[in-house]
Amino acid sequence: MFRISTKGIRSRRIRIQANGVKIPLLILTPEEAPANAPGVLWIHGGGHMTGMKEMVYIGRAADLVRNHGAVVLAPGYRLGLLHPYPAALDDCYAALLYLWDHAAELGVNPDQIMVGGESAGGGLTAAVAMLARDRGKVNIAFQMPLYPMLDNFDTDSSRDNRSRIWNTRWNHLGWAAYLRKDAKKAVSPYAAPARQTDYSGLPPAYTFVCTAEPFYCETLKFTEDLKSAGVEAHADVYEGMYHAFDLNEPEHPVSREAIRKFNEAFAYAREHCFAKQKEGPLPTGGKTT
């Protein structure tokens, strides 16, 4: 059962203007004013059909603020039921530009801008990292796509899956909402990151996944594809659990272990993962309202 706690976290809400729409952002900071902190764009899950930016309070993003002094920016991106691809990606990328452009104001180290998210948010994390690499405006230091929704084609673990929370039926519905008539086509890797063929130059990655959920195979393949391209990447695997187990049962012994190892991975990234940003004028990430 989800538990929401704002202890140790300050928050504020803004809206930015980008792509002809107003995008709501939730900004979480430690109680002490941050200085030279990692800045993390955290993208909520929900299978492209549901979810909200306030979910950052119940998941791993809150750990980053409380335990590591990070600044977290969570976008309220448009959902696929009303706004199919590329709306969600456009909104998340605009939020990334805002985080970069306002790094000094937010107390963020511009060489430690990171991206993370759960489930569909994990898939969008991978897509944002790919888009940022290809556009060359923001260098992302580290990515954390947790049990990510990457592949619009069935895999051995997403085919005929009847697991709790997320299964084959929900997965097909989620991709249909996001990609509509292209749900089973070879789309752009920005739409379904598993379609990527060039993993070089992407940021180092950490993820975890369980063996019973649909995203098991695609998560491990993503990690192996990064490593094959010379990118540091690691996936922790938990036996027999179900999708988003750490959110639903945070006190379960396996969840405790997953949360501990996630925090260890981020602590390592904070010490070792930096991205040299490009010189010159910064592009605007949108106007604040």
Q: Where are the domains of the chain?
A: 9-275
| Alpha helices, H only, the chain | 60-68, 87-101, 103-106, 120-135, 168-179, 216-228, 245-248, 253-272
Q: Which CATH class is domain 9-275?
A: alpha beta
Read off the pLDDT of residues 153-207 as tens digits, 9 standing for 90 and up. Answer: 999 999 999 999 999 999 999 999 999 999 999 999 999 999 999 999 999 999 9
pLDDT number for residue 8: 77
> Are 28 and 56 a contacting pair, CB within 8 Å?
yes
Mean pLDDT (the chain, rounded): 93
pLDDT at 278: 58
Residue 45 reports pLDDT greater than 70: yes
Whole-number pLDDT of residue 222: 98
As given in the structure block, the two tokens for residue 5 are 């706690």
**Span 78-124, pLDDT tens digits:** 999 999 999 999 999 999 999 999 999 999 999 999 999 999 999 99
Burial pattern 245-272, b for ≥16 Cβ within 10 A else e, equals: bbbbebeeeebeebbeebbebbeebbee
Task: Name the phi and psi angles at 164, rounded to 5.
Answer: -65, 160
Neighbouring C-beta atoms of residue 10, cutoff 10 Å: 14
Q: How confident is the model at residue 34 (pLDDT cuts 50, 70, 90)?
A: confident
Report whether pLDDT(286) > 50: no
pLDDT value at position 6?
A: 73
Average pLDDT of the segment spanning 51-73? 95
* pTM of structure: 0.94
pLDDT at 184: 95
